[in-house]
Chain A
Amino acid sequence: DSGVTQTPKHLITATGQRVTLRCSPRSGDLSVYWYQQSLDQGLQFLIHYYNGEERAKGNILERFSAQQFPDLHSELNLSSLELGDSALYFCASNRIRGAGELFFGEGSRLTVL
């Protein structure tokens, strides 16, 4: 158990819909990262938050947005969903500049029909 909690584990929805994925980082971790992993693909970096502030953006679509709340949990919002958005979405956390290890949650599997 990495200590990073992601909900929901599985989500099935239709094209055009909107979903919210939630992540609770490890206790004490201020950084939250979101990654997308499509079938048999690598980890595509989406966005990084540190203590509530956006720090870096990767290949995140304009239909996607995220935020980190004062209690440090983070949400990834995906809207106007398309079939190609079906993927595993991972959240990871770490202490900035610490040991460097990223701790990953078990992911949220999104299926868009």
Chain B
Amino acid sequence: QQQVKQSPQSLIVQKGGISIINCAYENTAFDYFPWYQQFPGKGPALLIAIRPDVSEKKEGRFTISFNKSAKQFSLHIMDSQPGDSATYFCAARDNFNKFYFGSGTKLNVKP
């Protein structure tokens, strides 16, 4: 049973466009929702994260929107650039400090 469901599996966006990746969860005990970015051959690296008492967090071109009642959160990448081409993982942490990852979204930003 997958605790965090992520979509889409892959995404192609033109340079300058908006990339949107969605995640949904079931466990209301999750208390921390990070997004990780992974380039080929590298380990995932934290991109941006949010706690459930906040509905939105923005860092530069990256924004997390969080809907607690719907148990959904999403990553928006504004003005997408070819350098943003990577695999993105959403995740959620439970109160045992265990992290559950989504299945990943492979983003390709075309020049």
**When A101-B34, A101-B49 are in contact, do A45 and B43 touch as well, CB less than 8 Å?**
no
Q: In the complex, which residues of chain B have a beta carbon less than 8 angstroms from the beta carbon of A42? A: 6, 89, 101-104
CA separation between A31 and B99, bound complex, in Å? Answer: 12
Q: In the complex, which residues of chain A have a beta carbon less than 8 angstroms from the beta carbon of B103? A: 41-42
CA separation between A4 and B46, bound complex, in Å? Answer: 14
Query: How many residues of chain A are within 8 Å of chain B by beta carbon?
Result: 27
* A100 & B32 in contact (Cβ 8 Å cutoff): yes
- Which residues of chain B from 33 to 76 have a CB within 8 Å of any chain A CB? 34, 36, 41-46, 49
Total number of residue pairs linking A and B with CB closer than 8 Å:
61
Cβ contact of A102, chosen from B6, B41, B42, B46, cutoff 8 A: B46
Q: Give the interface centre of B43, B104, B106 by most chain A CB atoms within 10 Å.
A: B43
**When A42-B89, A43-B89 are in contact, do A100 and B49 touch as well, CB less than 8 Å?**
yes
Query: How many residues of chain B are within 8 Å of chain A by beta carbon?
Result: 24
Cβ contact of A104, chosen from B45, B100, B102, cutoff 8 A: B45
CA separation between A90 and B38, bound complex, in Å? Answer: 12
- Which residues of chain A from 9 to 45 have a CB within 8 Å of any chain B CB? 31, 33, 35, 40-43, 45
Chain A residue with Cβ nearest B6: A42
* A102 & B34 in contact (Cβ 8 Å cutoff): yes
Q: In the complex, which residues of chain B have a beta carbon less than 8 angstroms from the beta carbon of A96? A: 97
* A101 & B100 in contact (Cβ 8 Å cutoff): no
A97 interface hit (Cβ, 8 Å): yes
Chain B residue with Cβ nearest A9: B41
CA separation between A42 and B4, bound complex, in Å? Answer: 11
Closest 7 CB pairs of A and B: A104-B43, A42-B103, A43-B101, A100-B32, A42-B104, A106-B43, A101-B46
- The 17 sampled A-B contact pairs (Cβ below 8 Å) are A4-B43, A41-B103, A42-B89, A42-B104, A43-B101, A45-B98, A45-B99, A48-B97, A48-B98, A90-B44, A94-B97, A96-B97, A101-B46, A102-B46, A102-B91, A104-B43, A104-B44
Please give 5 more A-B residue pairs, beta carbons under 8 A apart, in addition to A4-B43, A31-B97, A107-B42. A41-B103, A42-B101, A55-B97, A94-B97, A100-B34
